[in-house]
Amino acid sequence: MARFLSSSHSHRSKDSSQDYIPLDNSSIIYPPSEAKYNSIVFRLSAELKETVKPALLLQALNDILERLPYFKSRLREGFFWYFLTPNSAAPRIFEDGPRPCARIIKDASLDGYLFRVSYYSKRIAVDFFHALTDGGGGKTFLLSLIARYFEIQGKVIGSDPAIISCKTKPARWETEDQFQHLYRKVPFPASIRHSYHYCGLLSDRTFFVSGEAQLDSLKLAARKIGLTVNELFAAILVQIFLKKEEIEKKKAPIQLSIPIGLRPVYNLDTMRNFSLFAVVSIDPRLGPYTLAEIGKIIHLQMQMQVNTKELDRLVRRNLSGERNLFVRFVPNIIKKPFFKILSDMLGDSQYTMTVSNLGNIKIPSSMSNLIDRFDFFLAPNKKNVQECGVVGYKDKVVINFNSYLRDDVSVEQEFFSTLVKMGIPVKIWSNRRSD
């Protein structure tokens, strides 16, 4: 069992009918879908330039939870829906292990918290259960926690939109379910075929392979074939899976799920989930594709999907189920297996892999001089046995593959080998040899 530090005090929230928050629209499907091979957890971490001081990190966590009370919550199962209530337990921090995105819902040491703060050497990491927040909200939480950690040590951290200061008061937008403001009666999106899934012998724990490359080199290589860096990554992965699919002769489409952060698209903000998914798809039945052809198709598909009109269709489809009177008043015990099936139909079965890019993290220079690197990991699941998280910082991009495959690293090897062949040097590390 991991060692942890616990605060000796707690601040109990008043118990009233107002002290609960229904899960946002994006989250309602997560609790009934959580399982041994589906932790529904993502991780954000930062490598500092100095060794982490655990006592100060715990103090920073206590301070930031008082400023961000939305995160000081636990998940409850009601008669009709899941919801969040205040959590009066003292928060803890843990020594980090080599397996990111470990299960949170079944971890009794967390006392109901839906995130896990851990440290190891120079690393500060936070694993989040996805029902609590998404990558955008998680990034704000991590940066605000680290900023407070530095402030406790007497370092001056300037104000910045990426950071929430403990000196400010909670704002209404922080806990808003912004999906509810976007509902329009527009046609539903077209249905998506079930995709190709790469299979193999599974382990009962995850393994990651990570690569770091220079941003300028990636941009130059992507620009040569008219793509963004994210589109280049997607095109390389599709090409890899097309080769594997050809060997297996399954003839199912290769489809990647690419999360789209809605905050800049709609100019709305929240600390809760506020993202949807674009799906890029290549049909192997149409013949062979070059990397440039795949990239062009992906570029056009992304352009067609990432606009408010198409995203409104996804919002309407998702909210319609939640607003349906029959669904609203069916007991949770009956809805749970239905939601699990729905998660498979509208999620895991449609994707070969998820490729989530948080973009380039920008923070004040007073803080960036104290941090070497950021990492972003997604938890795989039994259907999508590998997932890919990407994050940039300063002049570097880190690509993290997280996998349940026991011995197979062929996808990761071919992906990074392709980058090297394109003239992009890559630094590689992994936990494959960790106990």
Topology of 202-430 in CATH? Chloramphenicol Acetyltransferase (3.30.559)
pLDDT at residue 337, rounded to an integer: 78
How far apart, in whole angstroms, are the C-alpha atoms of residue 135 and residue 153? Answer: 27
Q: Where are the domains of the chain?
A: 19-163, 202-430
With vertex at residue 246, the alpha carbon angle to CA 245 and CA 247, rounded to the nearest 5 degrees, is 90
- The predicted structure's pLDDT at residue 294: 98
Taking every pair of C-alpha atoms in the chain, what is the biggest distance, in angstroms? Answer: 64
Chain segment 15-31, per-residue pLDDT in tens: 333 578 999 988 988 99
Strands, E, within 220-370: which ranges?
254-261, 275-282, 353-361
Give the pLDDT score at 134.
98
pLDDT at position 384: 95
- Cα gap 275→16, rounded to integer Å: 30
What pLDDT is attached to residue 6? 56
Give the CATH superfamily of 19-163: Chloramphenicol acetyltransferase-like domain (3.30.559.10)
- What is the reported pLDDT for 9? 41
Q: Do domains 19-163 and 202-430 have the same CATH topology?
A: yes
Evaluate whether 426 touches 219 at the Cβ level (below 8 Å). Answer: no
Contact status, residue 44 vs residue 134, Cβ threshold 8 Å? no
pLDDT at res. 11? 37
Contact 31, 112 (CB under 8 A): no
Q: Which of 280, 216, 213 is nearest to 417 (CA)?
A: 213
pTM score of the predicted model:
0.94
Round to the nearest angstrom and report the end-to-end CA distance of the chain.
Answer: 14
pLDDT at 3: 52
Instruction: Return the SS3 of 217.
Output: helix
Beta bridge partners of 428: 211
pLDDT at residue 359 in the model: 96
CA distances from 200 to 68, 210, 310, 399, 403 (A): 42, 20, 35, 22, 11
Which residues of the chain, if any, have pLDDT below 70?
Answer: 1-18, 344-346, 434-435
